[in-house]
Amino acid sequence: MALADAAPRRFSPFALLPARKRRAPARPREDIAREALERLSGKGPSTGPLGMVGKILVTVSIALVGGIGSAYLAVDRGRLFNAVTLGQWTAYPSAGTPDADPYSAATLARTGQVPLGAGEGLVFFGDTDSQGNALTGACDYRITGETPPARLWTLTATDTSGRLIANSAGRTSLDSRALLRNTDGSFSVAVSRYARPGNWLPLGEAGRVVFVLRLYDTPLTTGTGLADLSMPEIIRGDCR
Amino acid sequence: MIRQWLASLWIWVLGGIMLAAVIHLLAVMSVPDFTTDDAFSRAARFGPDARFNVLPDVKPGAEPLPMLDPHMAHATCRFSLDRGPVRMDAEIPSTFWSFSLFDQRGETTYSFNDRTSGEGTLAMLVLTPAQLSILRENPPADLERLIVIETPHERTVALLRAFVPDAAHAKPIREALAAAKCVQNPLTADAGI
C-alpha cells in the first residue's frame, strides 16, 4: 500500500487530493505493487493517446497564456529599466536609443512616444514627494531647490500615462526663462489647483500625478555623469 | 486513471512554463517591429510624407504624439530614403530649438540642438551609404555648410521642436516651422542646391 502511493505523493501536489477510490477496489496488494513498479519504470499501461493529447494541450496552453500574457503585462505597465534616480526624480537616459533594453524598446513602440535624443535633453519624472508618498491631484505641492545645469527647462504635470491634465488656468507648463528666482538662483514652484502667488504650476483634477521636468541642452546627456546632482525637492502641502 | 494522469503531469507543466519563457522573450522582442500605433505610423497623420508638417498645439486631450512638451511647437517630416536622399533646411526664430531623427522602431538615430548645430540654422542632408558614394562624385555647392547624416535606416522621421516662450512668439515660430524645407531628391528636384 505504501509503495502504491509513493509515486504520486512524491511528484505531484494532486496526490494530496482526497483519494476517493482508495477503499473501493478490493484487489490483491501484489497487483497494486506491480502496477506501481511498472508505472515508475515507464513500462506500465499508459493512459492512451487521449491522455497524451491532454498533456500536450496543458503544456501548450500554459506556454501561450503564460508567455503572451506576461509579455503583454511587462510591455503594457512595466517600468523601464536602466533608470537613474536622483532624489524623487527618475530619468531613463537610454530610452529611445539603440542601447535600450528590449522591454523599454517595446514599451516605447507601443505607446508611440518620442523621447528626447541625447543632443536635445533629458526628461526626469517625479512621482513621489519627499516623504515617499505617491503624488495625487488632491494635494498642493511645492517644488523647491535647483536643477542641474541646462540651457532651458520646462515643468509639466501629467497623469501616470503621461497625458496632460486639463485645468481651469489653461496652462499646463512652466519654463525656466519665466521663472522667479531667489538671489542664490534657487526657486520655489507652487503646484496647486488654485492660483498661487509667485511661480505657479496649475494642476487639474486627477488621481495620481507625475511631474515631468525636461532639461534641454544639458551636459548630463553628454557624459558628465548623473551623480551628485542637486534636483529640486517635491514637498507636499495641504491636501483636500 | 485520472490520478495517474495528474501525477505524471508535472513534467509537462514544467515544460509549459519553460516554453512560456521563450514565447515571452520572442513576443517582447518582436513588439517594436509589429506595432501599428508607433510614432512612425502616427507621424503619417500630420500630412504628406517628405515635407515638414506642423503639429497641432500640445493640449490636454489633444496631444498629437504622446509625451510631447506643451511648451514647444513641433513639426515632423516623414520620409523613406529608398526614394532618394533628403535635404532639410530651417531657420527658427526661437531661443531654443532641437532636432532629432528617429527610425521605424522609435529609436533616435541622431539629435542636436540650435547651439550644437553650428550656425544656428538647420541645414542637413540625410542619405544611405550607397547614396553617399554617388554624392561624392557630384557634391552640392554648399556641402561644407551641410550636416551630412549617413544612415542605414531608410524609413525615418525628422522631428523639430521649437521653444515657444509665450503666446506672442507662437505665430512667428509656427510660421518658421511651416516654412521649414524637407525635400526629397534635392539635386534633381531643383530645390536650390
- The position carrying cell 504635470 is A157
Total H helices, total E strands in chain B:
5, 9
Mean pLDDT score of chain A, rounded to an integer? 82
Closest-CA distance, B32 to chain A, in angstroms, reads 5
Q: Does pLDDT of B82 surpass 80? A: yes
Q: For B6, which residue in chain A has the nearest alpha carbon?
A: A14
- The pLDDT confidence band at residue A24, using thresholds 50, 70 and 90, is low
* Confidence at residue A77, expressed as pLDDT on a 0 to 100 scale: 67
Mean pLDDT of B58-83: 92
- Cβ of A217 within 8 Å of Cβ of B98? The answer is yes
HSE-CB of A51 using CA atoms within 13 angstroms: 13
Using the 8-state DSSP alphabet, how is residue A164 labeled? B
pTM (two decimals): 0.80
End-to-end CA distance of chain B: 83
Question: Residues near A227 by Cβ (< 8 Å), separated by ≥ 6?
Answer: none
Is the pLDDT score of A20 beyond 80? Answer: no
Does B38 sit within 8 Å of A110, measured CB to CB? yes
**Could you give the CA distance from residue A233 to residue B7 in angstroms, rounded to a whole number?**
58
User: What contacts A52, CB < 8 A, 6 or more positions away?
Assistant: A46
- % of chain A beyond a pLDDT of 90: 38
Which contiguous run of DSSP H or E holds residue A75?
Answer: helix A48-77
CB B84 within 8 A of CB B75: no
Distance between B26 CA and the closest CA of chain A, angstroms: 9
Note whether A70 contacts B15, CB cutoff 8 Å.
no
One-letter identity of residue A185 = G
Instruction: Identify the bridge partners of residue A155 per DSSP, sorted by sequence position.
Output: A174, A213
Cβ within 8 Å, pair B110-A152: no
Using a CB-CB distance cutoff of 8 angstroms, which residues of chain A are in contact with residue B59?
Answer: 164, 172
CB-based contact B110 A117, cutoff 8 Å: yes
Residue among B70, B79, B120 at smallest CA distance from B99: B120
Instruction: Name chain B contacts of A71, Cβ cutoff 8 Å.
Output: 23-25, 27-28, 31
B36 neighbourhood in chain A, CB within 8 Å? none
Which of B3, B18, B92, B147 is the mutation pick for testing A, counting most A CBs within 10 A? B3
pLDDT at B2 over 70: yes
Sign for the CA dihedral angle at B5, B6, B8, B11 comes to: positive
The 3-class secondary structure across B155-191, one letter per residue, is EEEEEEEEECCCHHHHHHHHHHHHHCEEEECCCCCCC
Q: Which DSSP category does A141 fall into?
A: E
Query: Which of A179-193, B2-16, B132-146 is predicted most confidently?
Result: A179-193
Name A56's bridge partners.
none
Average pLDDT over residues B115-127: 86
Between CA A125 and CA A119 the distance in angstroms is 19
CA–CA min distance B126, chain A (Å): 17
Give the integer Cα–Cα distance in Å for A112 and A96: 11
Is A97 close to B107, i.e. CB distance below 8 A? yes
> Per this entry, what is the length of chain B?
193
C-alpha cell at A148: 542641474
* Average pLDDT of span B51-76: 92
Q: Give yes or no for a contact between A49 and B5, defined as CB atoms under 8 angstroms apart.
A: no
| Contact present, B46 and B8 (Cβ < 8 Å) | no
The DSSP call for residue B8 is T
Q: Which of A58, A96, A121 sits opposite B12 (nearest CB)?
A: A58
Query: Does A55 sit within 8 Å of B12, measured CB to CB?
Result: yes
Whether residues A109 and B27 touch (CB distance < 8 A) is answered with: no
pLDDT bin (cut points 50, 70, 90) of residue B6 is confident
Among the listed residues A175, A205, A91, A186, the one whose alpha carbon sits nearest the alpha carbon of residue B72 = A175
Minimal C-alpha gap between B73 and chain A (Å) = 13
Which helix (DSSP H) or strand (DSSP E) does residue A107 occupy? helix A102-111
pLDDT of A85-131, one tens digit each?
888 998 888 888 877 888 888 888 888 888 898 889 999 999 899 99
Distance, in Å, from the CA atom of A115 to the CA atom of A95, rounded to the nearest integer, reads: 7
pLDDT of residue A221: 79
CA distance B181 to B91: 10
CA neighbours closer than 13 Å in the CB half-sphere of residue B62: 5
As given in the structure block, the three cell numbers for residue B90 are 530651417
| Half-sphere exposure at residue A29, Cβ-oriented, CA atoms within 13 angstroms | 4
Q: How confident is the model at residue B190 (pLDDT cuts 50, 70, 90)?
A: very low
Chain-chain contact of B113 with A216 (C-beta, under 8 angstroms): yes
Residue partners of A65: CB distance under 8 A and separation at least 6: B20
- Closest Cβ–Cβ partner in A12, A119, A177 for B10: A12
Please say if the pLDDT value at position A48 is more than 70. no
